[in-house]
Amino acid sequence: MTRGTDPTDPTDSAEHPAPDLTSLTAVRLLDGYRTGAFGPVAVTRAALERAREIQPEVNAFVRLFPDRALEQAAASEERWRRGEPRGLLDGVPVTVKDILLLRGAPTLRGSRTVDPAGPWDEDAPSVARLREHGAVFLGKTTTPEFGWKAVTDSPLSGVTRNPYDPARTAGGSSGGAAAAVALGAGPLALGTDGGGSVRIPAAFCGIFALKPTYGRVPLYPASAFGTLAHVGPMTRDAADAALLMDVIAGPDSRDWSALAPAPGSFREGLDGGVRGLRVAYSPSLGGQVAVAPQVAAAVRRAVERLAALGAYVEETDPDFPDPADAFHTLWFTGAARVVQHLTREQRGLLDPGLREICAAGARRSALDYLAAVDVRMDLGRRMGRFHDTYDLLVTPTVPRTAFEAGVEVPRGAGHRRWTGWTPFTYPFNLTQQPAATVPVGTDADGLPVGVQLVAARHADALVLRAAHALYASGAARVPGAAGLTPAGG
């Protein structure tokens, strides 16, 4: 499963041999289409072959669409030949997490309780925007059942594994999407994030991911997890994420909570750097989190790079206690709502851990729920005041690197649920803030480490700009480059 190095030029000449098309970012694929260096059909064939190659060991996909994808790629290639590309992503291969509707394909949500017969006649808003912009749909990626936990395994599709070590987890709940991007099975992926579900697997798999401000990317059908659930891009770098956000952001009449259109392109100002930004660096949320030493060291180096690039960095912590109990109330009651319609026989088909949290959620009262909402509002107020002083908050994304596959929590860690080892991510679903993860190195076992960048609500462009600065300075890594090569067999 080894990858070649990232090409330096998407052209084919004696000085620049034919590139590995699976290693190119979406931005560079589009450059190649414009110059005629290669076309969408060759790129799609390469991505499909990569997906087939990795599937037996990593299990990133629920299903692939080879015939449909090649038809879409051929139509795109003809548009490029005529000089009439459709939209911003014409011919770029994308994958869609099997939580989001994709017309003409079952969306089973990792569950044996969903009827594959459908009908499946509607796209989710973000998928519809991709279709309008000419993207090529490679397939649907794996998820735990209904996206309930931060690792990716389900009774329906089994265990999804880490590109750097298949004995370890890819993280979750968008683990299939992260593994696919890391291994070249499409440069762009749509994931969902209700408590860290794009950021956690991206950190474990060494790619970039953004959880946008809630409502920035519309969601339909509405999530049972309510306003905790975000749709976000998972990509090879921040520039690709900005491009994808320009496509998927914006209102959709099916989402009552969608925001108004963004004031401009997310690609504008991407090269603005971080000089003058006020950055709060919190290595452990005020000592609340035990962080693995090698993770802490890699994150600190990234923070030092931000300072070297001109940011004003202060080591300080946001003032909030661990909101896990409130998050559990909101999350568990959402899960209970997901399965409320199921028969006793269908409930017997569920992931046992999901059954546990559904039972816990069903025991919560309306007053318990409203008390959790009070905690959430207070946390949002605290973070709003915090960002009056600081433009960015920087933390580790996850306090450790990837652990053994097939379990919800690391063995011997003493945690009861996945929230025990993800304390840096779920608070910012409660507050609805934009938060991204950037790969900034590896530990002694070669497993990726991510740094998390958080900004005030609606400051998605700022998060992308700061992340891009880390890529441009060489502090962030692209999978397959600079020795950061997924391998395993």
CATH of the domain at 338: 3.90.1300.10
Indicate whether 259 belongs to any domain: no
Q: What pLDDT, on a 0 to 100 scale, did the predictor assign at position 195?
A: 98
pLDDT for position 16: 58
Residue 484 within any structural domain of the chain: no
Q: Are 233 and 209 in contact (CB under 8 A)?
A: yes
Residue 8: inside a domain, yes or no? no
Q: What integer pLDDT is reported at residue 15 of this predicted model?
A: 58
Other beta carbons less than 10 A from residue 289's beta carbon: 18
pLDDT at 469: 98
Q: Which of 97, 140, 149, 211 is catalytic?
A: 97
The answer to whether residue 97 is catalytic is yes
**pLDDT for 470:** 98
Residue 69 lies in a domain: yes
Per DSSP, what are the bridge partners of residue 232?
191
Does residue 477 fall inside a structural domain?
A: no
Catalytic option among 197, 211, 223, 282: 197
| 197 assigned to active site | yes
Pull the structure tokens for residue 177: 């999407």
Residue from 266, 173, 255, 265 nearest 217 by CA: 255
**What are the tokens at 4?**
């070649």
**Catalytic status, residue 173:** yes
* Residue in the structure block whose two tokens are 């600081």: 390
Neighbours of 431 (CB within 10 A): 25
The answer to the question of residue 92 being in a domain is yes
Q: What is the pLDDT of residue 481?
A: 46
Question: 23, 173, 174, 223: which is the annotated catalytic residue?
Answer: 173
CA angle 246, 454, 318 (to 5 degrees): 160
Residue 486: predicted pLDDT: 53
Q: How many structural domains comprise the chain?
A: 1
Residue 480 pLDDT: 63
Q: Is residue 260 part of a domain?
A: no
What is the pLDDT at residue 250?
86
How confident is the prediction along the chain (489 residues), in pLDDT tens digits per residue? 533 334 334 444 445 567 899 999 999 999 999 999 999 999 999 999 999 999 999 999 999 999 999 999 999 999 999 999 999 999 999 999 999 999 999 999 999 999 999 899 999 999 999 999 999 999 999 999 999 999 999 999 999 999 999 999 999 999 999 999 999 999 999 999 999 999 999 999 999 999 999 999 999 999 999 999 999 999 999 999 999 999 999 899 999 999 999 999 999 999 999 999 999 999 999 999 999 999 999 999 999 999 999 999 999 999 999 999 999 999 999 999 999 999 999 999 999 999 999 999 999 999 999 999 999 999 999 999 999 999 999 999 999 999 999 999 999 999 999 999 999 999 999 999 999 999 999 999 999 999 999 999 999 999 999 999 999 999 998 886 433 345 333
- Return the pLDDT at 478: 80
Say if 157 falls within a structural domain.
yes
List the domain range (segments joined by +) for residue 435: 21-252+265-472
Q: In whole angstroms, what is the distance from residue 6 CA to residue 10 CA? A: 10
